[in-house]
Amino acid sequence: MTDKTKAEKSTKKKQQGQQTETGEEKVNISAQAEKAGKADKADTAEKVEDTKVEPEADVQAEETAKEAEPEKSIEETLQEEVDKLKDEQLRDRAEMENTRKRLEKHKLEAVRYASLPLMRELLTVIDNLELALQYAAEDDPLRSGVNMALDGMKKTLTDHNCKPIKSVGQKFDPAFHEALTTMHHADKDDDVILEEHRTGYVLHDRVVRAAGVIVNKIPVAPVEPVETVEPSEETKEE
């Protein structure tokens, strides 16, 4: 064999050796990749199993707690339902009773004060009759007839529990009196009613019309300014 042929054979052997080494390296790399993939899968599976274990443990704990609780008998359950229904029935009955009493009260008040608007209209007629008597002459032949009509109207009011309000000499009460003006009388107490210009009336305990009155008002004495005494020089030195 010639030297050239020997050199070509040795070159081919070297190339074949390099290719073999490269193939072995690839095989080793793929094996390592497979091992890494398997390890990752194993870790993922362990995590999933760990995640699944926790809910199972919670469910088991709940079941254990339920089993630990004493089960109620049918009699106890029925008794609780009966007690609940009794309580609801008592509440409904109490509410109905309160509603009945409230409606009964409103009904009585409506009947008691049903004539209130009529009384107010009659008071206007009485005021006109009193004015007629006030300005009529003493010898007027109609005076006696007006007096009879006035007395009859006042008696009708009294028969229906509509009575006049006492005013003169009484303490002023804004619930029953209306102050038309004020006057000053030194010999009278403050807020005492001096005169009545319009008679007031109440129906039972409700005001039909407030009495128009003049109230005594004592003026408040002005407050005199207090003089301040300045200290003398001797007092300052001390």
154: closest CA among 175, 181, 125, 178?
A: 125
pLDDT for residue 54: 47
Query: Residues 6 or more apart from 133 whose CB is under 8 A from it?
Result: 143, 146, 147, 150
Q: Cα(2)–Cα(98) distance, rounded to whole angstroms? A: 133
Q: What average pLDDT score do residues 78-101 get?
A: 91
pLDDT for residue 167: 92
pLDDT for residue 159: 92
Q: Cα(39)–Cα(17) distance, rounded to whole angstroms? A: 33
pLDDT digits (tens, 9 = 90+) for 128-154: 999 998 888 888 888 889 999 999 999
Instruction: Give the pLDDT band (50/70/90) at residue 52.
Output: very low
Q: What average pLDDT score do residues 117-135 get?
A: 91
pLDDT digits (tens, 9 = 90+) for 1-34: 555 555 555 555 555 555 555 555 555 555 565 6
169 φ/ψ angles, rounded to the nearest 5 degrees: 85, -5
Question: Letter for the amino acid at 209?
Answer: R
Q: What average pLDDT score do residues 52-81 get?
A: 67
**Side-chain-facing half-sphere of 138: CA atoms under 13 Å:** 0
- Residue 200: exposure state from Cβ atoms within 10 A (0-12, 13-18, ≥19): buried
pLDDT for residue 193: 94
With a cut of 90, say whether residue 76 has pLDDT above it. Answer: no
Instruction: Give the pLDDT band (50/70/90) at residue 47.
Output: low
